[in-house]
Chains A and B, each alone.
Chain A
């Protein structure tokens, strides 16, 4: 390979759209890696769908229509429908049940304990899974995800309908791996709602209701009323009762940066102290801390916003459609555009969630 630092404009056209003077380095990589290129023809989706929908068929040979039989069938149909409707009204729609598996100790659902030989059990809407200090369990819902529940946790199922799965972590720790479409799986905590936007994450809630969310893959939205935080992989975000989610930060941020941010988010500070804390944050921010500064744009006062803008613009220049004036007046489209340019995830997915779920 040739020199590592080159003029960005040189031969970039070829890398961008294959136009201009070919870049031999890019061409070599294309030739080398081209062997992995997708080459599978489209499967027959008609056939695949038909296979999925295939059901055993009854043999109607010899079946002869009669009014008596039709009347009996109609009465049965009305009876069954009435029973289902009444039952659903009495119990509420239970939706799909999560499958519980014991990992260690003796997790409980109500009075039912899952011992060593208990196998699997179901966790339905309204039920709570409780682990003591020496128990762990996992719950799985096909096409939604799998959650490991650590010791000393209480996890309740709030909703389990199509496209809407909602749990409540009252205390303890869960490790969630979610493969449902983004925005369909949410976890309530006493101080914020965690919204899966395509990810693997850990959520902890302590006895006071304060929480901590750590994302391993993808990203998560954290929300309390109008207070929102986006937490991409490698980042952490704390939340406090009545305050909501704080400002997310990367785990490898400096100690002074993290300390200043915690005080900025959750301590009672005078305007002077707050100003000093903001000064530390802006001075200590690295390029990758653009994540934190982007959130600060909408959390600082109007007077402080220009300073935050300038620092963020220096670390992560805004896209062409974003102007200083627009950001200073907190234009949502421009904020979204700048967020998208940071490459952590498409903010559209967040708005999709907001439209799908009712506000907390």
Chain B
């Protein structure tokens, strides 16, 4: 199996980020563009935990535009990541309020499950199913794992970007991975039982015929 590229950005970059936030707050659009490059995967990952994949890219742009407008309200520039993360979660909440206000909100992962049922391509189907299972994990685990497994961020990078301690991210990744393994194994067992049941039914039908 190929080794996936995991991009490592040193924690010392967070100091550079402070300078970028400061410059962006003073109206430097290039600095804000660099912040986008540093934080877009975090925002993308947080959104992917909550909203259907097809809408995530548009929402990423909306989140950054909202951040650009609200940047003046950020007092402690060293907490840009935590602040941006909260804006992102709020925007995801808003997504459901706007798009499903009149109808019942879909259960997390329901859309991906529906997608996976109609998707012909086996690999895409597996990806959609895995993402659906990932989205059923508790919020803390699901965010850290999405950033690690989907966005390819390292643990130290997740901690630096989100303003969390290494210890808590490490625990989240470890426990989340354990829970994901269990859920995927459970799903595989369920799928195996269903296949067996279908085969038995087909056999009975053919014997009857």
Query: Chain A interface (Cβ within 8 Å of chain B)?
Result: 1-2, 4-6, 8, 12, 15-18, 22, 24-38, 40, 42-46, 48-49, 52, 143, 146, 163, 177-182, 184, 197-200, 217-218, 233, 319-321, 337, 340-341, 343-344, 346, 348-349, 352, 355-356
Docked complex Cα distance between A213 and B167 (Å): 31
Docked complex Cα distance between A6 and B178 (Å): 8
Which of B15-23, B36-44, B199-207 participates in binding chain A? B36-44
B9 CB to nearest A CB, Å: 11
Q: Mask for B41-68, Cβ within 8 A of A = 1, else 0?
A: 1001100100001000100110011101
Contacts of B69 in A (CB 8 A): 143
Q: Is the CB of B148 within 8 A of A42?
A: no
B65-113 CB contacts (< 8 Å) to partner A? 65-66, 68-70, 73-76, 79, 82-83, 86-87, 89-91, 93-94, 97
Q: CB within 8 A of A31: which of B1, B33, B70, B86?
A: B1
A227 CB to nearest B CB, Å: 24
Q: Is the CB of B73 within 8 A of A349?
A: no
Q: Is the CB of B44 within 8 A of A43?
A: no
Contacts of A163 in B (CB 8 A): 73
Q: Is the CB of B171 within 8 A of A32?
A: no
A104 CB to nearest B CB, Å: 14
Q: Is the CB of A179 within 8 A of B90?
A: yes
Docked complex Cα distance between A214 and B156 (Å): 34
6 inter-chain pairs at a CB distance below 8 angstroms, sorted by A residue, are A18-B8, A42-B36, A43-B36, A181-B86, A341-B165, A346-B164
Docked complex Cα distance between A210 and B152 (Å): 48
* Interface flag for B184 (CB, 8 Å): yes
Contacts of A17 in B (CB 8 A): 6, 8, 154-156
Q: Is the CB of A319 within 8 A of B165?
A: yes
Number of A-B contacts (CB under 8 A): 182
Docked complex Cα distance between A337 and B167 (Å): 11
* Interface flag for B198 (CB, 8 Å): no
* Interface flag for B208 (CB, 8 Å): no
Q: Is the CB of A45 within 8 A of B29?
A: yes
Docked complex Cα distance between A37 and B41 (Å): 8
Say whether, besides A17-B155, A36-B48, A348-B82, A1 and B181 are in contact (CB < 8 Å).
yes
Q: Is the CB of B87 within 8 A of A181?
A: yes
* Interface flag for B114 (CB, 8 Å): no
Say whether, besides A4-B182, A38-B45, A40-B60, A198 and B89 are in contact (CB < 8 Å).
yes
Q: Is the CB of B168 within 8 A of A319?
A: yes
Q: Is the CB of A348 within 8 A of B86?
A: no
Residue of B nearest to A177 (CB): B97
Say whether, besides A46-B29, A348-B163, A349-B82, A34 and B182 are in contact (CB < 8 Å).
no
Contacts of B181 in A (CB 8 A): 1-2, 4, 25
Q: Is the CB of B4 within 8 A of A38?
A: no
Contacts of B148 in A (CB 8 A): 15
Q: CB within 8 A of A4: which of B91, B130, B172, B185?
A: B185
Say whether, besides A40-B60, A179-B93, A8 and B29 are in contact (CB < 8 Å).
no
Docked complex Cα distance between A193 and B171 (Å): 33
Q: Is the CB of A49 within 8 A of B29?
A: yes
Q: Mask for B158-178, Cβ within 8 A of A = 1, else 0?
A: 000001110110111110011
Q: Is the CB of A35 within 8 A of B86?
A: no
Contacts of A341 in B (CB 8 A): 165, 167-168, 171
Docked complex Cα distance between A28 and B167 (Å): 25
